[in-house]
Amino acid sequence: MPSIITRPGTREKLAILSTDCQYDLACACGTNEQDRRHRSGEDKWIYPVTLQNGGHGVLFKTLISNVCANDCRYCPLRAEEDPRRCTLEPEETVRAFMDYHRAGKVFGLFLSSGVIGTPDRTMERLVAIARLLRQKEEFRGYIHLKVIPGASDAAVQEAVSLASAVSLNIETPGEAHCRRLSAKKDYMQDIIRPIKLISELARKGPRRRRVRQSTQFVVGASDETDREIVRYMAGLYTRLGLDRVYFSAYQRGLGHADLPGERAAATNRDVLTREHRLYQVDWLIRKYGFEAGEIPFDAANRLSLAVDPKEHWAQLHPEKFPVDVNRADRLELLRVPGFGPTTVQRILERRANGGRVRALSEVGRAGRRLSKAAAYVKF
Ligand code: SF4
């Protein structure tokens, strides 16, 4: 028997919808590695996030509907499943968000959705909410809209014109993996085409008004390798100028029994570690000056689960160490396992002021990270 909900109230809908995006698989990407899976215990649609400036804020984050016409085999909301389905109306969403915003409890809104009939019908609802907020409520704050795969160019343009940030989940590194996960989604037409269009539109106009663009891979649902993901990720940054790429570990048991991820030897814990390693690689490429081609993989094109990728690279390149803390440039220092941008900045400032570093304790707090660096530096 299908479950039937008779006129659930807004809070009940929010409870259902925010629970359904808890694994960040159902078209709802995280906004930061640290933020993911950390929600308010009570109102699960209230979502603490780390801001670009390193501060913290709270978002109102929800699906507007868990109705979905799509067949993504990793997703518990796919059409063939029978979860409790419901949809928030645009006015209802705006009211709920504005109540929290006026009470000073949230600074912005993150909206996603299952596919209600067609991609453009869904986009109409998402865009209607953003328009009501911008035009009727005169809300000038943060709005993140998730673009639905297969959305038309016109729908993408509207979303970009109203939002502060826009994302569309790429999900897989390439078409072959996409076909393993969905018979309905056309990788090039439904995913890559709108991602490219968002990239073009988001970078128009003055820099201070730029719309941020992100995407997300689902990790471990198909049999994609880490090397494939890293290659695609690097392309998204260098060729399309995306601001962030996120990863969501597929947790076994959520999807269809015939998924490669359901038959793989990796445990759910392994996939979570793999997700963490991919985030570490993302940092190496964005913040530490690594090229995608330098990232170490094993013979099966996987990242090591046992050791972090920067330390793995250092172990494979003994000729680059020890690094002289008092002579090395910023990029050389950043390659030392255990050194992050803050430690490197302290070293450079001390040197710029005419000082020398004689011990690691002068530039950082004693701990596992700093003691790791000891094996790779000299003074
Ligand atoms: S489009 Fe795919 S991932 Fe998104 S809600 Fe529907 S089935 Fe799930």
Q: How far apart are CA 295 and CA 340, in angstroms?
A: 17
Please tell me the predicted confidence (pLDDT) of residue 26: 45
Please tell me the predicted confidence (pLDDT) of residue 208: 63
Which helix (H) or strand (E) segment holds residue 181: the answer is helix 175-181
Most informative mutation of 70, 82, 259 for ligand 1 (most atoms within 8 A of CB): 70
Q: How far apart are CA 106 and CA 337, in angstroms?
A: 37
Q: Is the CB of 85 under 6 A from ligand 1?
A: no
Please tell me the predicted confidence (pLDDT) of residue 25: 52
Which helix (H) or strand (E) segment holds residue 369: the answer is helix 368-373
- Beta-strand ranges (E) seen in the chain are 46-50, 56-63, 108-112, 142-146, 165-167, 212-219, 244-249, 323-324, 377-378
Closest atom of ligand 1 to 63 CA is: 5
Could you tell me the CA-to-CA distances from 234 to 124, 282, 330 in Å, in that order?
Answer: 32, 9, 22
CA proximity to 83, closest of 104, 61, 114: 114
Q: How far, in Å, from the CA of 185 to the mean position of ligand 1?
A: 10
Cis bond before residue 76 (omega within 30° of 0): no
pLDDT tens-digit readout, 157-205: 999 999 999 999 999 999 999 999 999 999 999 999 999 999 999 988 6
Most informative mutation of 19, 67, 115, 216 for ligand 1 (most atoms within 8 A of CB): 115
Please tell me the predicted confidence (pLDDT) of residue 95: 97
Please tell me the predicted confidence (pLDDT) of residue 119: 97
Q: Both tokens of residue 117?
A: 């009939």
Q: Is the CB of 70 under 6 A from ligand 1?
A: yes
Is residue 1 scored above 80 in pLDDT? no
Q: How far, in Å, from the CA of 168 to the mean position of ligand 1?
A: 12
Q: Is the CB of 28 under 6 A from ligand 1?
A: no
* pTM for this model (two decimals): 0.90
Please, which pLDDT band fits residue 246 given cuts at 50, 70 and 90?
very high
The single residue listed with the structure tokens 């359901």 is: 262
Q: Is the CB of 168 under 6 A from ligand 1?
A: no
Give the architecture (CATH level 2) of 10-309. Answer: Alpha-Beta Barrel (3.20)
Q: Is the CB of 115 under 6 A from ligand 1?
A: yes
Share of the chain above pLDDT 90, in %: 77
Helix (H, G, I), strand (E, B) or coil at 186: coil
Closest atom of ligand 1 to 149 CA is: 1
Please tell me the predicted confidence (pLDDT) of residue 329: 97
3-state helix, strand, coil in the chain (%, to 5): 40, 10, 45
Is residue 90 scored above 70 in pLDDT? yes
Query: Which of 156-165, 203-212, 336-345 shows the lowest per-residue confidence on average (mean pLDDT)?
Result: 203-212
Q: Is the CB of 15 under 6 A from ligand 1?
A: no
Q: How far, in Å, from the CA of 15 to the mean position of ligand 1?
A: 18
Most informative mutation of 17, 20, 66, 68 for ligand 1 (most atoms within 8 A of CB): 68
Please tell me the predicted confidence (pLDDT) of residue 369: 81
Q: What is the mean pLDDT of the chain?
A: 90
Helices 90-102, 119-131: axis angle to 10 degrees equals 40
Please tell me the predicted confidence (pLDDT) of residue 130: 98
Average pLDDT score over residue span 299-303: 97
| CA nearest ligand 1 atom 7, residue | 78
Q: How far, in Å, from the CA of 318 to the mean position of ligand 1?
A: 46
Please tell me the predicted confidence (pLDDT) of residue 173: 98
Please, which pLDDT band fits residue 33 given cuts at 50, 70 and 90?
very low
Q: How far, in Å, from the CA of 178 to the mean position of ligand 1?
A: 13
Could you tell me the CA-to-CA distances from 370 to 71, 334, 366, 367 in Å, in that order?
Answer: 47, 13, 6, 6
Q: Is the CB of 177 under 6 A from ligand 1?
A: no
Please tell me the predicted confidence (pLDDT) of residue 300: 96
Q: How far, in Å, from the CA of 72 to the mean position of ligand 1?
A: 6
Please tell me the predicted confidence (pLDDT) of residue 128: 98
Most informative mutation of 20, 77, 186 for ligand 1 (most atoms within 8 A of CB): 77
Q: Is the CB of 68 under 6 A from ligand 1?
A: yes
